Amino acid sequence: MRRIIATAMSLVLFSMLFGQTSLNESPGGILSIKKGQEFRTIAQGYAHLEKNILITNETRFRMASVSKQFTAMAVYLLIQDEKLNFDTPIRNIFPELPVSCKKIQIQHLLNHTSGLVDYENVIPTSQKMQLSDADVLKLIQNLDTVYFEPGTQFQYSNTAYCLLSLVVERVSKQPFEDFCRTRIFHYLGMQDAQISASHGFERRAFGYHPKDSVFQFADQSITSATRGDGGVYISADDFGKWLGKKNPLLSARFFKDLETYKVPVKDEVYYSLGFFFTKSEDGNLTLFHSGESIGFHNIMLFQPQHDLIIALFTNRDDKYIVKVWEIAMKDENIIIPNIKESLFLWLNKVYNGDI
């Protein structure tokens, strides 16, 4: 009975919170909750306003930084294949990088302790075309400086994850998209998951930005074509196949390495292998991440010991996601140890360097 009531409440919330103007004029989102074999989703709003295409379980959303867990897994698989090590110097793979990068290792890219310059800060004002990950490498390869000694502090880095997609390509000798499709997506039965935006409208959410009383189309920016830091497009159905006890990629060894290579962020919150995480007093893990890009806001949480996943994907880049997420967390009686404010807003502070 409680689950039925919680689902009904969430439906009302979606109608209220994602109906800023009216349902016929609003993008929206999809909330999914999976516990063991039980999988519930609640969708509201339009994937494409102009074409009147509704959001469904099969609608693919741009994951933005939620993509990093997939990039990290691709690299981790190459480590399992013994083609890489956590301590492999990145200049072994990118000899074109300057001497200032000589101490940076694969683990520093994975856990945001590389000190690499943020590529967003060095994009030329004349840049009109969307950047690729290879463009990111070109932007930083002549900058003979880093923010700090690698491994000495945490600073969230999209640059690092753009390089990691190129690591996968150079080491595997496959396009990043092909490697992820074969080794992750299709291996787990995630048939619709993909890297980079599809060209058609089928099963794809398009991004919007609120302005005054309407939503403006806002699907892509100059940084929306990079892949390693934010390029995954995935549906709620496929994301439900990614996290959970049935995923053999999330093995006992994976969770051991998650602990081994973790770095502190703040107040006993850590980062490792594409996830933020913390622990309860009884040792239970809570993994989480959010994603923010033009037109899209997303957030996810995974508690492996309870086999619980909560994910909220939206194709609007306002803060309404905060209200829906917090009420969903309350309905499911989820408390994240060591974080005393809205999780989405806390993560936003991390990305902006305010934590």
Residue listed under structure tokens 């390693």 = 228
State the Cα–Cα distance between residues 317 and 208, nearest whole angstrom. 7
Phi then psi for residue 174, to 5 deg, are -130, 155
Strand segments, DSSP code E, in the chain are 29-35, 38-44, 46-48, 53-54, 61-62, 194-195, 208-211, 214-217, 232-234, 263-266, 269-272, 275-279, 285-293, 296-303, 308-314
Instruction: For strands 29-35 and 308-314, give the pairing.
Output: antiparallel
What tens digit of pLDDT does each residue of 135-179 get?
Answer: 999 999 999 999 999 999 999 999 999 999 999 999 999 999 999
Reading the chain (355 residues) residue by residue, the pLDDT tens digits are 344 445 445 555 555 555 544 444 789 999 999 998 899 999 999 999 999 999 999 999 999 999 999 999 999 999 999 999 999 999 999 999 999 999 999 999 999 999 999 999 999 999 989 999 999 999 999 999 999 999 999 999 999 999 999 999 999 999 999 999 999 999 999 998 999 876 666 789 999 999 888 999 999 999 999 999 999 999 999 999 999 889 999 999 999 999 999 999 999 999 999 999 999 988 899 999 999 999 999 999 999 999 999 999 999 999 989 999 998 898 888 888 889 899 999 999 999 999 8
Q: Give bridge partners of residue 89 from the DSSP assignment.
A: 105
Q: State pTM to two decimals.
A: 0.94
State the Cα–Cα distance between residues 60 and 3, nearest whole angstrom. 26
State the Cα–Cα distance between residues 341 and 319, nearest whole angstrom. 14
Please give the structure tokens belonging to residue 352: 């902006």
Cα atoms in the 13 Å half-sphere on the side-chain side of 272: 20
Q: Shortest CA distance to 7 belongs to which of 38, 28, 36?
A: 38
Please give the structure tokens belonging to residue 233: 């497009």
Q: Shortest CA distance to 233 belongs to which of 203, 182, 181, 195?
A: 195
Inter-residue long-range contacts of 187-193, CB under 8 Å, 24+ positions, other chains counted:
187/249, 188/241, 188/242, 188/247, 188/249, 189/241, 190/234, 190/238, 190/241, 190/242, 191/238, 192/58, 192/60, 192/234, 192/235, 192/237, 192/238, 193/60, 193/232, 193/233, 193/234, 193/235, 193/238, 193/242
State the Cα–Cα distance between residues 117 and 147, nearest whole angstrom. 6
Please give the structure tokens belonging to residue 14: 């979606």
Residue listed under structure tokens 């974080």 = 339
What tens digit of pLDDT does each residue of 26-67 get?
Answer: 899 999 999 988 999 999 999 999 999 999 999 999 999 999
Angle between helices 2-17 and 320-331 (to 10 degrees): 170
Q: Shortest CA distance to 266 belongs to which of 179, 165, 354?
A: 354
* Residue 182 neighbours by CB distance under 10 Å: 12
Instruction: For strands 232-234 and 263-266, give the pairing.
Output: unpaired
CA distances from 21 to 26, 45, 214, 317 (A): 7, 11, 7, 15
Angle between helices 158-172 and 68-80 (to 10 degrees): 40
> Do 353 and 344 form a contact (C-beta atoms < 8 A)?
no
